[in-house]
Structure 1
Amino acid sequence: MDAYLETERLALRRFTADDVDLLIELDSDPAVMRHLTGGNPTAPELVRERALPNILAGYEKWGGDLGLFAAHEKDGGAFIGWFHLRPEPEGPLDEAELGYRLRQAAWGKGYATEGSRALLGKAFTELGVRMVRAATMSVHHGSRNIMEKLGMILAGTIPTPSDMEMIEGSEQGVVRYEITKEQWEQQ
């Protein structure tokens, strides 16, 4: 496995066209998709025809340093999900969005914090990023706790996007967290 980034327990790598089944399986778990689609799986054809091609195109667009990365346990190689560090669609390259989606088997093990912390370090020390943002449903306390462990600061609440209005708790909106390079350096 050609690692993009390694932590104590994780190896992150670029996705390939051969990874479609990993993404389909991840997005088919109602618990994983609870705060994204209300638990509805992503249709396999959408993963094949839109999601994976967009992931691969992101590496081209951003030179392979930003994008969505498959995460595997170093001990045994199990796929646990993905992390992303990428600019907003039309945003500047020195601002990035941090995110993750992990299989249930990987929950509660500190992987989201570990992988995210490593991506923040890479963003601020190697990639010239000056600010990283992350967002989650207001009611998604697990994700909010991770963002706070990373030293991210609550920047505000935004209305829930219309395609997520059927999700339980959506009326409370989406929270956005931020951390600047200077704030990260002071930790």
Structure 2
Amino acid sequence: MSDGGVFLVTGRLVLRRFTMGDVERLVELDGDPEVMRFLTGGRPSAREWVEGELLPQYLEHYRRYGDLGWWAAEERVGGAFLGWFEFRPTREGERGEVELGYRLRRAGWGRGYATEGARALVRRGFVESGVERVVAYTMAVNAGSRRVMEKSGLSYVRTFHEDYPEMIAGSEHGEVEYAVTAGEWRARSGILGA
């Protein structure tokens, strides 16, 4: 396991703060065309961008929000890097609504890691962090990500279309929004006033 501060531990995962030592892990993750398929059409993220813009943005979120941001995901046993989870405010300076996201290496696909991490973040957001609404977005054709959102307690809200500089396969079907409020989550979880 890397030296970043541990944020959340689940049955099989450790979510921790990113450090500048994670550049290569992120470059490798974003270098897999299948991982990036529904994001960039398969194009990798440049190392210079990861090191100069992406990681500094992650570190700044820790400074500003503490418990809301991007979290490196590692296997609890063995410490293998799996990818990341996003749980950050949708509006600058506000904590009421957060966006849930995840990007995992192919080695972690189909093993329930995305659902496990997402559920744990949603629970923590509603129980400990004062979050009022969790929202998530993906391409309409990304069935795997949509299943994770549903299994994590979010419900379909809408389909919408964005203007992107470059079209990628499937983008003509639009993007989907899923969401859950604290009240809905408590009702589904059987938790009163948590």
Decide whether aligned partners of structure 1 residues 107 and 27 sit closer, same or farther in structure 2, where only a CA change above 3 A counts.
same
- Do the aligned partners of 1:95 and 1:129 also contact (CA within 8 Å) in 2? yes
> Equivalent residue for 1:93?
95
* Letter in structure 1 aligned against 2:174: G
Deviations 1:94-124 (A, max 9, x none): 1100000000000000000000000001000
**Which shifted more, 143-152 or 70-79?**
143-152
For structure 2, the residue ranges without an aligned partner over 5 or more in a row are 189-194
Q: Post-superposition shift, 1:93?
A: 1.3
Separation of aligned partners in 2, 1:3 and 1:59: 12
TM-score w.r.t. length of structure 1: 0.95
Are 1:14 and 2:17 matched, yes or no? yes
Query: For the aligned residues, what is the CA RMSD?
Result: 1.2
Match of 1:53 among 52, 56, 80: 56
Separation of aligned partners in 2, 1:160 and 1:174: 8
Match of 2:43 among 33, 40, 43: 40
Q: Figure out how many residues of one structure are paired with residues of the other and give that number.
A: 185
State the identity %: 53
Separation of aligned partners in 1, 2:8 and 2:156: 27
Summarize the alignment of residues 24-173 of structure 1 with structure 2, pairs less than 5 Å apart: 24-62=27-65, 64-90=66-92, 92-163=94-165, 165-173=166-174
Decide whether aligned partners of structure 1 residues 161 and 58 sit closer, same or farther in structure 2, where only a CA change above 3 A counts.
farther
Separation of aligned partners in 1, 2:77 and 2:174: 38
Separation of aligned partners in 1, 2:59 and 2:179: 26
Paired residue secondary structure (1:29): coil
Separation of aligned partners in 2, 1:150 and 1:120: 8
Paired residue secondary structure (2:79): coil
TM superposition outliers: structure 1 runs of 4+ over 4 Å: none
Separation of aligned partners in 2, 1:105 and 1:160: 30
Decide whether aligned partners of structure 1 residues 72 and 172 sit closer, same or farther in structure 2, where only a CA change above 3 A counts.
same
TM-score w.r.t. length of structure 2: 0.92
Deviations 1:126-175 (A, max 9, x none): 00001000000000000001111122111111213414x42111011100
For structure 1, the residue ranges without an aligned partner over 5 or more in a row are none
Separation of aligned partners in 2, 1:137 and 1:120: 21
